[in-house]
Amino acid sequence: MPARPVLCDHREALSGIPESLEAAGIPVQATQLPAGDYIVSDRVAVERKTGADLAASIKDRRLFEQLDRLADAYPAVVLVVEGEPVHIGEASWKGALARVLIAAGVSVIQTNDPNDTAAWITRFRLLERKGPSAPRGLPRVRRPTEDIQRNSEDVLTCLPGISTVGARRLLAHFGSLAAVYTATANELREVPGIGPTRAAALAQLFAGSRDAGPTNPVK
């Protein structure tokens, strides 16, 4: 059975990338894609932006809409930034890419030129043709109690002056995150490593949080 071609948006015809892919032995079919520039497989889609394209799509917010559509349709989405971004401040484009990475869950790769972009698409194609690697051993299933413990520690380490060790001591002493947040200064001082100054500061912080009441979540 012949290999399924990489689908390429027709607007990419003059980029030189389809020719490079075909030279590497990868069949390419040009078509009008509803989203994305290259569909490598049923799982992997690629959105390509030159430096100028990236700046323009960030300014009009088109970038986020495009990637959201791709993320809804494909498990793995890659944003290729070809060359250096121009006509936009470094803080702006790096902030946008950080949002793409964290909020949208999209992978970001910066390439030098169309040949470099084609080489990356070739790698994706070869990996997809090869299939997933065999798992090495059985995955360790974490018990829910371990998840709660770890999450509680992470929350407490966000408090001023509380290290991971301090968080574990607080949880061991009070038994739960809720009990920590209702503790008085005198009760907090019973925990090793919590002195009077820190105990007073934490108790004041906890009391202020309770007095403030519930707040609307950040969107």
| β-sheet bridge partners, residue 34 | none
Residue 214 pLDDT level (bands cut at 50, 70, 90): very low
The answer to whether residues 17 and 7 touch, using CB atoms and an 8 Å cutoff, is no
CA dihedral 23, 26, 29, 30 (to 10 degrees): -50
3-state secondary structure of 74: coil
- Tell me the two tokens of residue 203: 């108790």
Asked if residues 189 and 198 have their Cβ atoms less than 8 Å apart, the reply is: no
* Neighbouring-strand partners of residue 48: 80
Domains of the chain: 6-130 (3.40.50.10130), 144-209 (1.10.150.20)
Q: How far apart are CA 202 and CA 207, in angstroms?
A: 9
Q: How confident is the model at residue 149 (pLDDT cuts 50, 70, 90)?
A: confident
User: Which range scores top for mean pLDDT: 127-136, 183-192, 202-211?
Assistant: 183-192
% pLDDT > 70, the chain: 86
Q: Give the residue carrying structure tokens 């907090």.
A: 188
Give pLDDT, residue 12.
Answer: 96
- Angle (CA) 151-153-154 rounded to 5° is 65
Q: Band of the pLDDT at 205, cuts 50, 70, 90?
A: confident
Report the DSSP beta bridge partners of residue 171: none
pLDDT top residue among 146 and 59: 59
- CA dist., res. 10 & res. 37, Å (int): 8
Low-confidence winner among 30-34, 125-129, 131-135, 192-196 (lowest mean pLDDT) = 131-135
pLDDT at 125: 94
How high is the mean pLDDT of the chain?
85
Let me know how many helices (H) and strands (E) the chain has, helices first. 10, 6
Sorting pLDDT into bands at 50, 70 and 90, what band is 150?
A: confident
Write the DSSP string, 18-58: HHHHHHTT--EEEE--SS-SEE-SSSEEEEEEEHHHHHHHH
Q: 37-84, pLDDT tens digit by residue?
A: 999 999 999 999 999 999 999 999 999 999 999 998 999 999 999 999
pLDDT one-digit tens code per residue, 73-95: 999 999 999 999 999 999 999 99
Instruction: Give how far Cα 85 sits from Cα of 96, 101, 104, 111, 172, Å.
Output: 12, 17, 20, 11, 50
CA dihedral 165→168→172→173, nearest 10 degrees, is 60
Of the pLDDT bands very low, low, confident and very high (cuts 50, 70, 90), residue 156 is: confident
Contacts for 34 with CB less than 8 Å, ≥ 6 apart: 69
Whole-prediction pTM value?
Answer: 0.59
